[in-house]
């Protein structure tokens, strides 16, 4: 048989020995890359055959596993560390309320200032974002807010 013989071919600038069948496959692939229609059809057929071969040998998979969606409660074990570091303090007003699950805290102004500096002064924050910052921060100074928020104007209007 002619396909059982070995030939010497140059592929990628390297000379190597290969079977006649492999040399023909390389030539067909090269022709397909050059845009020859018959070679393209042949390569596409090889791809279909390869996919069918893998499909036969691939283990049957059941439906993909469901993503676990567990939400842990807000950990209060970090509260003590935040207080020691001076990042938060107890909100005395809300602490007087009854039936709170945990101690209410307010963020000190200095970490908020640092965070706002990192975020270009809160550029892109909407009114809801600024309301959250004001609600959660101890004695939020007007110097930290953009001019529109400090003056009470709606964000984005001066």
Number of domains in the chain: 2
Shared-domain flag, residues 53 and 13: yes
Please tell me whether the overall predicted TM-score, pTM, comes out greater than 0.85 for this model: no
- pLDDT at residue 146, as a whole number: 55
Q: What is the Cα 139 distance to its own chain's centre? A: 36
Q: How would residue 126 be classed by pLDDT, with cut points 50, 70 and 90?
A: confident
Shared-domain flag, residues 11 and 42: yes
141 contacts: CB under 8 Å, gap ≥ 6: 109
Does the residue 62 lie in any domain?
no
Question: What angle is formed at CA 146 by the lines to CA 141 and CA 152, rounded to 5 degrees?
Answer: 75
- pLDDT at residue 38, as a whole number: 95
The arithmetic mean of pLDDT across residues 101-116, rounded, is: 86
74 contacts: CB under 8 Å, gap ≥ 6: 102
Question: In whole angstroms, what is the distance from residue 70 CA to residue 136 CA?
Answer: 26
Shared-domain flag, residues 103 and 142: yes
The arithmetic mean of pLDDT across residues 60-71, rounded, is: 72
The tens digit of pLDDT for each residue in 21-61 reads 888 898 999 999 999 999 999 999 999 999 999 888 887 76
Closest by CA to 105, choosing from 75, 127, 126, is 75
- As given in the structure block, the two tokens for residue 58 are 């691939």
Shared-domain flag, residues 81 and 144: yes
* Contact status, residue 96 vs residue 124, Cβ threshold 8 Å: no
pLDDT tops 80 at residue 3: no
> Residue 45 belongs to what domain range?
6-57
- pLDDT at residue 39, as a whole number: 94
The percentage of the chain sitting over the pLDDT mark of 70, rounded to a whole number, equals 82
- pLDDT at residue 51, as a whole number: 92
Shared-domain flag, residues 53 and 89: no
Shared-domain flag, residues 34 and 93: no
Closest by CA to 80, choosing from 55, 61, 102, is 102
């Amino acid at each position: 048989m002619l396909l059982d013989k070995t030939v010497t071919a140059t592929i990628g600038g390297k000379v190597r020995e290969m079977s006649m069948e492999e040399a023909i496959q390389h030539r067909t692939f090269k022709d397909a890359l050059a845009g020859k229609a018959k070679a393209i059809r042949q390569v596409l057929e090889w791809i279909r055959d390869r996919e069918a071969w893998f499909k036969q040998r691939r283990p049957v998979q059941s439906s993909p596993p469901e993503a676990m969606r567990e939400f842990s409660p807000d950990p209060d074990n970090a509260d003590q560390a935040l207080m020691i570091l001076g990042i938060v303090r107890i909100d005395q007003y809300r602490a007087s309320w009854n039936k709170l699950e945990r101690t209410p805290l307010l963020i000190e102004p200095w970490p908020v200032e640092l965070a706002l500096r990192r975020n270009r002064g809160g550029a892109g924050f909407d009114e809801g974002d600024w309301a959250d910052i004001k609600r959660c921060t101890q004695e939020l100074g007007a110097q930290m807010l953009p001019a529109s928020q400090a003056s009470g104007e709606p964000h984005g209007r001066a």
